[in-house]
Amino acid sequence: MINASCKKASRRRILDDSITSGAGSRAGYMGEEALAAYLDATIVDEKGYDLVKDGRTIEVKTKRRTVRPRGSYEVSIAATSSHQSPDLYAFVSLQFAHSRLVDGITLYTDLLAVWLLGYKTPIDFYRDSRLWEPGDIDLTNQFRATVRMFNLPIHMLENEYDFAAVR
């Protein structure tokens, strides 16, 4: 999965709606690979979603971190991603042993764990989330928003989703 995500990231351009300006592309593809394997879903990598499971479309949102995710931590979707049209968002965290800042970019090494944090339908996500403006600072971890984005605490995600349920 790591090799596939690195190869894919090297072939792709930086996404216009990337919160990290492309620095997290490998992580994003790793999140897709891991979730596809876990759910036995198909990676389709369409503009509006990444996976298909039982006819449902899933957009995977991945964050990198060096600590185990907590319920008070937040998941994010860039405001520029509002064009995406999945049936469901899935939120994943990659936990690494180390990170370091190099030329203004945080590099993460030694993957320890992949965490499926939960799911949210687009309607529920945008209803429950909070809009952050560039420059807003998360006082819990000093993260400074670089783009307009919607944030939601992990504890507000759904732990399960019935993919076979009729719409």
Q: Give the lowest-confidence range in 44-48, 58-62, 80-84, 112-116.
A: 44-48
Specify the pLDDT at position 23.
61
Q: Rounded to whole angstroms, what are the CA distances from 36 to 71, 80, 154?
A: 23, 24, 21
Q: How far apart are CA 44 and CA 48, in angstroms?
A: 10
More confident residue, 10 or 134: 134
Please state the rounded mean pLDDT for residues 15-24.
53
Specify the pLDDT at position 13.
57
Beta bridge partners of 138: 143
Query: Do the beta carbons of residue 28 and residue 60 sit within 8 Å?
Result: yes
Mean model confidence pLDDT for the chain? 86
Kind plus residue range of the DSSP H or E element containing 123: helix 122-128
3-state class of 113 per DSSP?
A: strand
Specify the pLDDT at position 167.
46
More confident residue, 167 or 47: 47
| pLDDT tens string 129-152 | 999 999 999 887 788 888 899 999
pLDDT at 61 over 50: yes
What residues contact residue 150 under an 8 Å CB cut-off, 6+ apart?
76, 77, 79, 125, 126, 129, 130, 131, 132
Specify the pLDDT at position 75.
95
List the beta strands (DSSP E) in the chain.
42-43, 51-53, 56-65, 74-78, 88-102, 105-120, 130-132, 137-138, 143-144, 149-153
Specify the pLDDT at position 19.
47
Query: Do the beta carbons of residue 53 and residue 40 sit within 8 Å?
Result: yes
